[in-house]
Structure 1
Amino acid sequence: MVKLVLTIILFLISLLTVLSAPAFYLWLLAIATDEFPWIFIAIILVIVFINFRSPSYQLPTMILAVISLLLFLSPMVRSYLVGSKLQKNLAAAFGNEIGTNAFEFTPFSYVQMFKPKVTVPYSTVSYDKNGKTDLTLDFYPSEIKGKKPCVIIIHGGSWKSGDSQQLPELNSYLAKNGYHVAAINYRLAPEFQSPAPVEDISKTFHFLKGKSAEWNIDTTNFILLGRSAGAQIALLAGYTLKEPALKGIIDLYGPADMVWGYSIPSNPLIMDSRKVMEDYLGGSYSGHPEKFEKSSPLLFVNKQSPPTLLIHGLNDVLVAYEHSRRLNAKLEENGVKHYLVTLPWATHAFDYNLYGPGGQISTYAIMYFLKSVTE
């Protein structure tokens, strides 16, 4: 009986690989099922082995175990399918064909899921002191010598939480492969509201240019990378600051249309998205429509906008995939170089595991994009 109950529980968990999570803690579990599927596959295989040796409830256990196994395998299979076309699609989008052998990563490999994490030493420095607010960034120097491009990374956290230490594995990976990385902290809501974080990006550019000789930064090659709320900040800064040294923007599951986003709120069991936006923008849309519009990156896209890479999961329950679809259409309309990497199985924060199915695809796409726009 225990064997069957455990199999039923695993079957229900496996449904998160194809269905949207209905509650906050199930969303966290969905990240695990999508990006660490081998753990669940191993448990299922143990149950199958036990089932062959135990006659009780053998048939229902086997049926549920096989279905669960197929579902847990599905993120890897779909990642392989997305990855098989990724190099060709990115080359078509950015006009710079780069061979797979230029990267440590392939778009997706089953073996890569078991690679050890990379860690590069970093230093934390203050880049702006604004009254009581001391803004800092973590600087990861490129491990390849010479003047190198700098990727400015902007964390997520609903504009009110999170910090520069969020998902640091990518920072080390980029530094190991020839990019300086500045992972920044910015002023948070509700104490500080839009456009304060965008102003902090401007200060970051100024600070890093001042450090260029000491840190060997190529001041003609900056890239903004943001996750979730940080992606909204990255996009808005990239489309409005008119920074000539900015070569591209990487948007990981960010809200691009604040007006539309407010009109279609998230599942309240996941997040009170309207309250989050009101804290960031100073009130409701009916009271402050101009702030919602001025904070919508999509409305600032024009023919001179920087190349943009978008990466989003169809099963995202915090920031709807529709944001990226809308921004993708606007970039297409204006003839801006861009590409939307769609991950059919993935939820929000799919890049939590750099070597998971979503993490591998996104890291490959990011590396390809960086090489395309900075060389």
Structure 2
Amino acid sequence: MLRGMSKVSRSPWLLLGLVVGAAVLAGCSQRSAQDTLNRAVSTSGLDVTRDVAYGPDTRNRMDVYAPHGAANAPVVLFVHGGSWEGGDKDGHKFVGESLARAGYVTAVMSYRLAPQNRYPTFVQDTALALKVLRERAKTFGGNPENVFVMGHSAGAFNAVEAVDNARWLREVDVPVSAVRGVIGVAGPYSYDFRSLPSARAFPEGATPDEVMPDRHVRPDAPPHLLLVAGSDRTVGAQNGENMRAALDRAGVPVTFTVLPGMGHITIIAAMARPLTFLGPTRRDVIAFIEAHRLR
């Protein structure tokens, strides 16, 4: 045992991954695992700008992680999950760090939460954050015409709905052509929320046809990557399958991948560089961005 631990201790990066990965797999709270990981992930060598305002509310803030000396780099907007009632940008430093190390200017945003702020507030916040990020992209070393929008869980709903429903980008005067791709990780795009606790995130009397992203796909939407956790007990796989079908019907290019053995939390935890052994999330996201970015 001591000899084995001695070998592991020579690699702090591996040891960190094993410790945090064990916490995730053991079912520790999502925020607890996030905090452990975020404390250990270093942003040394990156340019980090915190609390960039994109609107008047205190939660209308985003942190921007950029490679040092970036110029004309692809830009990624990341939207956190939390059933629309929890979560924030601070819990996802590991995503910003991971994507910035891959060469992308990455904004990790917070948004207004339900039940005080119901649909479409959090979708409108996503569109507004995208607008401000594009306007300021060059100051961070990014290309405003080379933008990707990514989200996990409820954040994937926000990301997909904000781009695919023609209404939201039009409201903030963002051309859909500026968005090169949308990445949804374990998103609830297509379900009947009316008898579930998440009904608190939607207007009284609303129906799935009125709010679900798979009902709102514009034919000129950009390519999508949909990642589904094969062992997800929070968001059913049918959400991803229905979203893929809707994109197919609209003629929108979509890459649909089920990641076997991954759960609702491990699929996003695997974005962290110390936790890539959990699954291929980071690899697949980077491959998608590289395939669709402007050159």
The two structures have a TM-score, normalised by structure 2, of 0.77
Deviations 1:280-332 (A, max 9, x none): 0033xxx322xx32321101124312111011112111111110011112222
Other-structure match for 1:363: 282
CA distance in 1 between counterparts of 2:26 and 2:277 reads 11
> Is 1:300–2:216 an aligned residue pair?
yes
Other-structure match for 1:280: 201
Other-structure match for 2:63: 138
Report the CA distance between 1:334 and its aligned residue.
2.7
> Is 1:331–2:247 an aligned residue pair?
yes
> Is 1:372–2:291 an aligned residue pair?
yes
SS of residue matched to 1:158:
coil
Report the CA distance between 1:118 and its aligned residue.
5.4
> Is 1:322–2:238 an aligned residue pair?
yes
Other-structure match for 1:78: none
Deviations 1:62-96 (A, max 9, x none): xxxxxxxxxxxxxxxxxxxxxxxxxxxxxxxxxxx
> Is 1:158–2:91 an aligned residue pair?
no
Other-structure match for 1:313: 229
Q: Which structure would you say has the larger RCO, counting Cα contacts within 8 Å and 6 or more residues apart?
A: 1
> Is 1:352–2:274 an aligned residue pair?
no
2:136 to 193, 203, 211: 211
Other-structure match for 2:49: 123
Is the CA contact 2:79–2:150 (under 8 Å) kept in the aligned structure 1?
Answer: yes
Q: Aligned AA for 1:258?
A: Y
CA distance in 2 between counterparts of 1:332 and 1:232 reads 18
Cα distance change, pair 345–220 in 1 and its aligned pair in 2 (3 A): same
Matches within 5 A, 1:184-199: 184-199=109-124
Cα distance change, pair 359–333 in 1 and its aligned pair in 2 (3 A): farther
CA distance in 1 between counterparts of 2:238 and 2:22 reads 23
Cα distance change, pair 189–214 in 1 and its aligned pair in 2 (3 A): same
Cα distance change, pair 129–357 in 1 and its aligned pair in 2 (3 A): closer
Greater Rg over alpha carbons, structure: 1
> Identity percentage over the alignment?
23
What root-mean-square deviation, in Å, do the aligned CA atoms of Structure 1 and Structure 2 show?
2.5
Aligned residues: 249
CA distance in 2 between counterparts of 1:158 and 1:29 reads 24
Report the CA distance between 1:161 and its aligned residue.
0.5
Unmatched 5+ residue regions in structure 1? Answer: 1-27, 35-115, 266-273
Say which is worse superposed, 333-342 or 153-162, in terms of deviation: 333-342
CA distance in 1 between counterparts of 2:59 and 2:138 reads 24
Is the CA contact 1:313–1:347 (under 8 Å) kept in the aligned structure 2?
Answer: yes
Q: Aligned AA for 2:188?
A: P
CA distance in 2 between counterparts of 1:147 and 1:168 reads 22
CA distance in 2 between counterparts of 1:356 and 1:148 reads 25
CA distance in 1 between counterparts of 2:164 and 2:146 reads 16
CA distance in 2 between counterparts of 1:339 and 1:118 reads 31
Is the CA contact 2:152–2:186 (under 8 Å) kept in the aligned structure 1?
Answer: yes
Other-structure match for 2:107: 182
Deviations 1:19-51 (A, max 9, x none): xxxxxxxxx9894169xxxxxxxxxxxxxxxxx
Report the CA distance between 1:202 and its aligned residue.
2.2
Cα distance change, pair 139–184 in 1 and its aligned pair in 2 (3 A): same
- Indicate the structure with greater helix content: 1
Report the CA distance between 1:258 and its aligned residue.
3.5
CA distance in 2 between counterparts of 1:331 and 1:234 reads 15
Is the CA contact 2:59–2:110 (under 8 Å) kept in the aligned structure 1?
Answer: no
SS of residue matched to 1:141:
strand
Cα distance change, pair 185–146 in 1 and its aligned pair in 2 (3 A): same
2:189 to 245, 256, 267: 256
Q: Aligned AA for 2:241?
A: R
CA distance in 1 between counterparts of 2:258 and 2:140 reads 36
Is the CA contact 1:31–1:347 (under 8 Å) kept in the aligned structure 2?
Answer: no
Q: Aligned AA for 1:279?
A: R
Q: Aligned AA for 1:368?
A: A
CA distance in 1 between counterparts of 2:278 and 2:293 reads 22
Say which is worse superposed, 207-216 or 169-178, in terms of deviation: 207-216
Report the CA distance between 1:184 and its aligned residue.
0.5
CA distance in 2 between counterparts of 1:31 and 1:197 reads 27
CA distance in 2 between counterparts of 1:293 and 1:310 reads 21
Report the CA distance between 1:361 and its aligned residue.
0.6
SS of residue matched to 2:261:
coil
